[in-house]
């Protein structure tokens, strides 16, 4: 009877540890994925930033056209 209980206890002990490890890995994966999605979701496209800078008068028309040409050629 004891020879059956020991392997069964070891099996359940290992299963619990395996479940905890999987849970920790999934939690870490989920938290880093949420963090990276939230940071990239708030960024503006470069062309929009360029238009805003031109509208505020930070750059002139020539610089706007040059940078716009560079940005649209890369797409």
pLDDT of residue 51: 92
Is the pTM above the cut of 0.85? no
Query: What are the CA-CA distances from residue 23 to residues 17, 28, 37, 51 (Å)?
Result: 10, 9, 21, 46
User: What pLDDT, on a 0 to 100 scale, did the predictor assign at position 63?
Assistant: 92
* Tokens at 13, concatenated: 């002990």
The tens place of each residue's pLDDT in the chain, 75 residues long, gives: 667 888 888 999 999 999 999 999 999 888 887 655 555 555 678 889 999 999 999 999 999 999 999 888 864
Our CA angle for 29, 34, 39, nearest 5°, is: 130
Q: Give me the residue spans of the domains in the chain.
A: 1-43, 44-75
């Amino acid at each position: 009877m004891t020879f059956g209980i020991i392997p069964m206890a070891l099996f359940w002990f290992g299963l619990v540890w395996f479940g905890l490890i999987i849970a920790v890995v999934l939690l870490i994966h989920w938290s880093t994925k949420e963090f990276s999605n939230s940071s990239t979701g708030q960024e503006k496209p470069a062309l929009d930033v360029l238009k805003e800078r031109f509208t505020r008068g930070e750059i002139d028309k020539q610089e706007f056209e040059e940078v716009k040409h560079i940005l649209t050629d890369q797409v």
